[in-house]
Amino acid sequence: MALIVQKYGGSSVGTIDRIRNVARKLIETKNAGNKVMAVISAMSGITDKLIALAHEVMENPPERELDVLLATGEQQSIALLCMAITDMGYKAMSFTGQQAGVCTYGSHTRGRIANIEPSRVIQALEDGYIVVCAGFQGVTSEGVIHTLGRGGSDLSAIAMAAAVNADLCQIFTDVDGVYTCDPRVVKDARKIPVLSYEEMLEMASSGSKVMQARSVEFAKKFGVVFEVRNSMNNNPGTIVQEETTAMESLAVRGVSIERNQARVTVSGITAPVPYTALILSALSEAEINVDMIVANTAHDGMARQSFTMNMNDLGAAQAALKGLLPQLGEKARLETESGLAKLSVVGVGMRSHTGVAATMFRSLADAGIATGMIATSEIRISTTVEAGDIEQAARVVHTAFHLGQENA
Ligand code: ASP
Ligand code: MG
């Protein structure tokens, strides 16, 4: 008898009808002769609503209380789903993070999983229950409630699958899997049948919002093979697993786009070299996630440094850097540019193929699209473009790497 973990996101349990649909899927899986555990999110929109409520009460709600509040979203959905399953004549039992033995550490609203003690869950599975666990939550060894960061139910599911040594972990969502590019932007985008953890990670952190990046890191660390698939149909999804040599035959496997990017440039820097450390420390203290970094020293002896970040962080970045300018030089000043987007190509085959960057930038140039900052990893090349160019940029690059073709 196989043990299957199925994760359903907020949109998959967003209405009572959809909750019944999930109940049916779990029952089907059980009837096929398996032990079944669901890990689910709050109904879509609930977490946002709870956050908004908290901010109606006060501007900066204590994070401890925010966690207590946010954890209730998943507590609603697990109970409702168990009721739906029971109503269909099957045994179901819900588990909050604490009841499921999810032990966390770290900060409120972005807790980390220390370990899982799944004996109660395993007992319920042995007793023939369909087990429904709350995603996104756990408790510290002192019993303090933690949530795991937005999208954290993905992490809960992967961690649960590792803890109970599941035979299969399926991440059900509202798309059929991971695509070569966003199909709303690129019409001939295709579903990718198998991806490596690293490709999935690079895609998740460069704009493909299918899964939380941290959960993919966790899966890689613990070797949890998982499948991303659609909760509204029975199509096979995308399997994410350890890299294989077959994956390397293609240089590029996917194109990711990320909108809402902004750039900050500090120019006129005459301070001695540790200025990069000063700037990055100021941004990190302000909890700003810096993405691309470019530095150069101009011929007049003054250095410039540019960073990209999410547009939402632009105001905070300006505020954090303004106070620093006098230390960077008399002529140091800030320039900002918003309305940017980031285009990335990802593929493990890049390690062994040459000319990937050339093909990418040639296709953009031929389409008359200007590129800005560039960043690379071993398996990713990213560039900024004007926000208005991003869709066309995605299409020409997708075509340049033949990603839409049947044999690609
Ligand atoms: N309900 C949480 C959120 O909206 C966790 C999740 O959906 O994965 O972020
Ligand atoms: Mg999600």
> CB atoms < 10 A from the CB of 300, how many?
9
Per-residue pLDDT at 405: 67
CA of 182 to the centre of ligand 2 (A): 16
Which of the ligands is closest to the CA of residue 10? 1
Q: Where does ligand 1 bind, in terms of residues with CB under 6 Å? A: 9-10, 41-42, 47, 73, 135-136, 150-154
pLDDT tens profile 62-71: 999 999 999 9
CA of 176 to the centre of ligand 2 (A): 14
Query: In the predicted model, what is the mean pLDDT of residues 97-115?
Result: 96
Mutation to probe ligand 1, out of 7, 102, 136 (largest number of atoms < 8 A from CB): 136
Query: What percent of the chain stands above pLDDT 70?
Result: 99
List Cβ<8 Å contacts ≥24 apart for 297-304: 301/270, 302/267, 302/268, 302/269, 302/270, 302/329, 302/331, 303/269, 303/270, 303/275, 304/265, 304/266, 304/267, 304/268, 304/269
406 pLDDT more than 90: no
The topology under which CATH files domain 3-174 is: Carbamate kinase (3.40.1160)
Q: To test the ligand 1 pocket, which listed residue (137, 153, 158) has its Cβ within 8 A of the most ligand atoms?
A: 153
Q: What is the mean pLDDT of residues 126-138?
A: 98
Can you tell me whether residue 373 is helix, strand or coil?
Answer: strand
Number of the ligand closest to the Cα of 149: 1
| Rounded distance between C-alpha atoms, residue 187 and residue 165, angstroms | 39
CB atoms within 10 A of CB 376: 15
Cα of 278 vs its chain's centroid, Å: 29
Q: What is the mean pLDDT of residues 174-191?
A: 93
Query: Is it the case that residue 347 has pLDDT exceeding 50?
Result: yes
Q: Kindly report, residue by residue over 367-398, the tens digit of the pLDDT.
A: 999 999 999 999 999 999 999 999 999 999 99
Q: Is the pLDDT of residue 407 over 70?
A: no
Separation of CA 265 and ligand 1 centre (Å):
34
- Spacing, Cα 151 to ligand 2 middle (Å): 4
| Residue 268: CA count within 13 A, CB half-sphere | 11
Reduce the DSSP state of residue 116 to 3 states and report it.
Answer: strand
User: What pLDDT digit, counting tens, does each position of 33-60 carry?
Assistant: 999 999 999 999 999 999 999 999 999 9
Q: Which pairing describes strands 112-116 and 35-40: parallel, antiparallel, or unpaired?
A: unpaired
Q: Please tell me whether residue 360 adopts helix, strand or coil conformation.
A: helix
The pLDDT of residue 287: 84
Tell me which residue has its CA closest to atom 6 in ligand 1: 151
**Rounded Cα gap, residues 32 and 53, in angstroms:** 43
Type and span of the H or E element at 331:
none
303-329 pLDDT, tens digit per residue, is 999 999 999 999 999 999 998 999 999
Q: Which of 72, 102, 150 to mutate to test the pocket of ligand 1 (most atoms within 8 A of CB)?
A: 150
Please write down the long-range contacts of 298-303, taking CB distance under 8 Å and 24 or more positions apart.
301/270, 302/267, 302/268, 302/269, 302/270, 302/329, 302/331, 303/269, 303/270, 303/275
Find the distance separating the first CA and the last CA of the chain, reported in whole Å.
37
Residue 295 confidence (pLDDT) above 90: no
Average pLDDT over residues 164-184: 94
Cβ–Cβ < 8 Å for 178, 191: yes
Contact 97, 29 (CB under 8 A): no
How confident is residue 408, by pLDDT bands cut at 50, 70 and 90? very low
Residue 271 binned pLDDT confidence (cut-offs 50, 70, 90): confident
Q: What integer is the mean pLDDT of 272-284? A: 87
43-52, 322-331, 342-351, 356-365: the lowest-pLDDT one:
322-331
Instruction: Point out the least confidently predicted range of 233-237, 279-283, 293-297, 358-362.
Output: 293-297
The yes-or-no verdict on residue 134 having pLDDT over 80 is yes
Tokens of 334: 């800030």
Distance 110 CA to ligand 2 centre (A): 15
Pairing of strands 333-346, 168-173: unpaired
Q: Determine the distance from the C-alpha atom of residue 214 to the mean position of all C-alpha atoms in its chain, rounded to a whole number.
A: 7
For all residues of the chain together, what is the average pLDDT? 94
Dist. CA 175 → ligand 2 center (Å): 11
Tokens representing 223 are 């070797």
Which among 147, 136, 109 has a CA at the least distance from the CA of 39? 136
Please give the average per-residue pLDDT across 351-362, as a whole number: 95
**Which of 145-149, 283-287, 334-338 shows the lowest mean pLDDT across its residues?**
283-287
Please give the average per-residue pLDDT across 251-266, as a whole number: 95
| pTM for the predicted model, two decimal places | 0.88
